[in-house]
Chain A
Amino acid sequence: MLERYDRQIAYEGIGKAGQEKISKSKVCVIGCGALGTTILNSLCRSGIGHIIFVDDDTVELTNLQRQMLFDENDVGKYKVHAAFEKLDVINSEVIIEGYVDKISADNISIYAEDCDIILDATDNFQTRQVINTYCIANNKPWIYGGVAGSCGMATTIIPFKTPCLNCLSDFKTNEGYTAKTSGIINAITASIGSIEANLAIRYLIDKPSDKFIYLDLFNDIFECFELKQNPNCKICGNK
């Protein structure tokens, strides 16, 4: 059973003990676009025990440039259905559940309740706020990721230990830079998706990152910033 993970186990940062933790883990991936497909591909191959993912979109031709689990035959299908077909044959040892649904404050607990960690693969700030509020209220860690153009960023949010989304930003509306407004290259979605998956695995094997990671692949910028909680944060402060 562990043979397929031989090279991953051989890496001393993971080892057999880490692989066993990975295989007993349950994660929830919210969104199945460019970040989501990279994250799902990576987590499935890494041998996460149980993966739940949620998205309500269908595959469009313009998605194929960067959404790595889809091909021309998938155009028009629900992303969840198309991704499930691919993931199921990548690693049949993983329990995979995909749901066609739009995440909201009313339904997030249905999918995330029993999961060890949530990964953000959404394309809007309001859903990230839903994830943040749910995770702080339920003391559940999550991985934030965002991309546009040739830039991306990611960080691990562990309630009451690292800054939450609200500590990081005053932003309240969906007015940021997106693939639609600013274009996007597939190198950045693949990079940030892989980093998010890696951040999740590191948390699951008790080696969490405490940095805010920023990349700009057309300007050769690779930065890590320190994270500080805001004691006055309205969501997570003074608790």
Chain B
Amino acid sequence: MIKITVKAFSFLEKFITETTLTLPEGVSCEDVLRRLNIPKKDVFVCIVNGSNVPFNTKLKDNDSLSLLPHLEGG
């Protein structure tokens, strides 16, 4: 099992603010979204340990995942 911290920004705070999850090894950012019932369409960027990563990136123990909302306005 691995332990990760998840932080959601602004509009995504309606799903979670910050939480620590214990998950099986091999889980991806997408898996975390599904587990937290956060629609993928609401998330623009996944940030792991301070850098953007593809949504299918596998997470490691003690990773910190930040989720930025999809801001479409201009």
A123 to B40, CA, bound (A): 19
A108 to B: closest C-beta gap in Å: 16
A20 to B34, CA, bound (A): 51
Interface residue tally of chain B, by bracket? 20 to 34
A161 to B: closest C-beta gap in Å: 14
Contact surface of A with B, Cβ cutoff 8 Å: 31, 33-36, 120-125, 145-153, 163, 167-171, 173-180, 182, 184, 212, 214, 216, 219, 221, 225-228, 230, 232
- On whether A168 and B72 interact (CB within 8 A), knowing A148-B11, A216-B9, A227-B52, the answer reads no
Question: Lowest 10 CB-CB distances: which A-B pairs, in order?
Answer: A176-B72, A176-B70, A146-B71, A123-B74, A178-B73, A226-B51, A151-B10, A179-B73, A148-B73, A148-B71
Partner of A147, one of B41, B51, B52, B73: B73
**8 A-B pairs, CB-CB below 8 angstroms?**
A146-B44, A148-B73, A171-B70, A175-B72, A179-B73, A212-B45, A225-B47, A232-B54
A121 to B72, CA, bound (A): 10
Type the 1/0 row for B42-63, where 1 means its CB is closer than 8 Å to any CB of A. Answer: 1011010011111100000000
CB <8 Å contact, B45 and A168 = yes
CB <8 Å contact, A145 and B54 = no
For A177, the chain B residues whose CB sits under 8 A away are 11, 42, 69-73
CB <8 Å contact, B74 and A168 = no
A96 to B73, CA, bound (A): 25
Q: For residue B49, which residue of chain A has the nearest CB?
A: A226
Q: For residue A233, which residue of chain B has the nearest CB?
A: B54
A69 to B: closest C-beta gap in Å: 14
Q: For residue B11, which residue of chain A has the nearest CB?
A: A177
A153 to B11, CA, bound (A): 13
CB <8 Å contact, A216 and B10 = yes
A148 to B50, CA, bound (A): 22
CB <8 Å contact, B54 and A149 = no
For B11, the chain A residues whose CB sits under 8 A away are 148-149, 151, 177, 182
